Amino acid sequence: MIEALLAAPPRLGRVRVLAIDGPSGAGKSTLAAQVVAGLRARGCRTALVSTDAFATWEDPVAWWPRLVDGVLRPLAEGVDGVYRRMDWTTGVPRPGELVRVAVPEVLVLEGVSSGRTSVRPLLSGLCWLSGGSEAERLAKTVARDGERAQAELGRWQRFERGWFAVDGTSEAAGIRLS
């Protein structure tokens, strides 16, 4: 995956963007961390941005303009990006710390909707990670986020099932992993 990404042309100014998308609990964050580590081991300036830093239970995908205006547009222009990360520490998301994104050679964008239709022309790579059955992913996510999140996670899974069906993310991905 890393070799193919580095061989692909940059499409966000001089930045290559890899989106790692898929349903909740599929392992996107883990894979993204591995890819970032692999890129950095090669001496590649790499930044990681997660859609979890933007999304809330009530706003699963409509926050996208904040990512475009704060990160993607500035990076395309060769300028550092900035965004305000959602703070999930209390279980109720609220605006948290300001995060600066230095212009990288590769931006790894991971999370639900990171490979959405509107961003695909800017991507150098799109990876879809399916991560097993819905029940397995729900159990893994509840184990990670706590029992109190189960009802919200169930609602989230229903939302993302519809989102991915309409957006066609899996079908558009050049790399598909389970």
Size of the chain, expressed as the number of residues it contains: 178
Residue 111 identity (one-letter amino acid): G
Mean pLDDT value across the chain: 93
User: According to the model, what pLDDT value does residue 92 have?
Assistant: 73
Query: Nearest-CA neighbor of 112 among 62, 178, 37, 151?
Result: 62
How far apart (Å, rounded) are the C-alpha atoms in residues 51 and 37? 19
User: According to the model, what pLDDT value does residue 150 have?
Assistant: 81
- Structural domain span for residue 168: 2-177
Domain tally for the chain?
1
φ and ψ at residue 107, rounded to 5 degrees? -105, 120
**Contacts (Cβ under 8 Å, ≥6 apart) of 30:** none
User: According to the model, what pLDDT value does residue 26 have?
Assistant: 94
User: According to the model, what pLDDT value does residue 88 have?
Assistant: 76
Mean pLDDT for 126-131 is 95
Q: Find the CATH number of the domain harbouring 6.
A: 3.40.50.300
149: confidence class by pLDDT, cuts 50, 70, 90: confident
pLDDT tens, residue by residue, 8-27: 999 999 999 999 999 999 99
